[in-house]
Structure 1
Amino acid sequence: MSEAVIISSILGGCGLIITIIYNYSNYKLASHKMQKELFTEFNNRYNELNGDLNLLGSTSPKTFSDFFLPEDQIRIKGVVYDFFNLCAEEHYWKKEGRIPLKVWISWEKGMNDIYNRSKVIQEMWDEECQNKGYTSYYIDKKDTFLKLRN
């Protein structure tokens, strides 16, 4: 084999290694960027919902129906449906491997803390899940991401 062929092979191999390293680095960077965007978006959306969700944590279903004005009930129910959708989106991205397990464990705990504190939210989730309504959240069973802890 000639010296030129050996040098060309070595340079080609080095070029291939550099290309693989570069592409892997770009992949990791893009993945981290997407995780950061999801993290920021989901946390911002939770922040928008937190006040009303916390209010429901100390409100019984009877108090909610008897003392909240109908327009407030509609608005707050919309907040709860936004919460359900947010939980479903987070679960979807976790399944797709875009949310690290450590982050998911924290988020899942938070969503279940909210769910477990509020009988109003629990009743709404039960109503939402009647006749397999939970499938609209891309899940196979009711307690996939919202779990009642006794």
Structure 2
Amino acid sequence: MNRVQSYWKMNIWRISVGIMVMFFLGLTIYCFELDDKFSIALIATTITIYIGLIKQNLDDDKLFQDLFQDFNSRYDDKVNDLFNKLREEVDNENDLGEQDKLLVIDYLNLCSEEYLWYSKGRLLPEVWKAWEQGIIANLKIPKVKELFDKECLNENSKKSYYGFIEYIEKKI
């Protein structure tokens, strides 16, 4: 799909709403024979509201982009390398070291922040679903699951995870 087609597909609702509003505005002015000053004020108000809605949508997109970049940068190579190492371990005899525990807890905090923003409607559902699948896969790692159970499944800890613990418990 080329860029123009992509733009039209993504913005068809804005264009459609704009055309419909202008049509009904013109129809209203014509049918009620509104005077020029009122007509101009009505048109200006409509344009202002429409531009405001577009601006709000752009601000929402910018917030999403900022959140997405922040979350992805915080899930860095150290976390990914740790989970890959833990997946490959044959024996689960050794406990996690203190640094690794802190890294996993930081990861769980990151997950809870992602969930918070998702529950507020600031993350796209398809992005959250992809992240959720990764979270579930990481929680299947025995040492991560053990730490999760120990650190997160008591009532005091649940409160500091913004509803994430209750949500993810149902998924794993």
**RMSD, aligned CA:** 1.8
Q: Do the aligned partners of residues 87 and 15 (structure 1) sit closer, same or farther apart at CA in structure 2, a change above 3 Å counting?
A: same
2:99 is the alignment partner of 1:75: yes
Match 1:44 to one of 67, 73, 85: 73
Runs (5+) with no aligned partner, structure 1: none
Q: In the alignment, what sits opposite 1:22?
A: 51
Identity across matched positions, percent: 29
Match 2:87 to one of 57, 70, 74: 57
Q: In the alignment, what sits opposite 2:109?
A: 85
Rounded to whole Å, the distance in 1 between the matches of 2:122 and 2:57 is 12
Runs (5+) with no aligned partner, structure 2: 1-33
Of the structure 1 ranges 45-54 and 18-27, higher mean CA displacement relative to structure 2 is found in 45-54
**Bigger relative CO (Cα 8 Å, ≥ 6 apart):** 1
CA contact (8 A) 2:158 2:166 kept: no
Match 2:38 to one of 3, 6, 9: 9
Q: Do the aligned partners of residues 110 and 130 (structure 1) sit closer, same or farther apart at CA in structure 2, a change above 3 Å counting?
A: closer
Question: Moved runs in structure 1, 4+ residues, more than 3 A?
Answer: none
**What's the CA shift for 1:143?**
4.5
Q: In the alignment, what sits opposite 2:26?
A: none
1:113-150 deviation per Cα after TM superposition (whole angstroms, max 9, x unaligned)? 1111x11110001101343122211217x4412543xx
Q: How many residues align?
A: 135
CA contact (8 A) 1:88 1:145 kept: no
Rounded to whole Å, the distance in 1 between the matches of 2:73 and 2:51 is 33
**What's the CA shift for 1:47?**
2.5
Rounded to whole Å, the distance in 2 between the matches of 1:121 and 1:143 is 17
Match 1:121 to one of 127, 132, 144: 144
Match 1:131 to one of 136, 141, 154: 154
Equivalent residue of 1:112, what SS?
A: helix
Equivalent residue of 2:75, what SS?
A: helix
Rounded to whole Å, the distance in 2 between the matches of 1:16 and 1:53 is 55
Equivalent residue of 1:145, what SS?
A: helix
Of the structure 1 ranges 126-135 and 106-115, higher mean CA displacement relative to structure 2 is found in 126-135
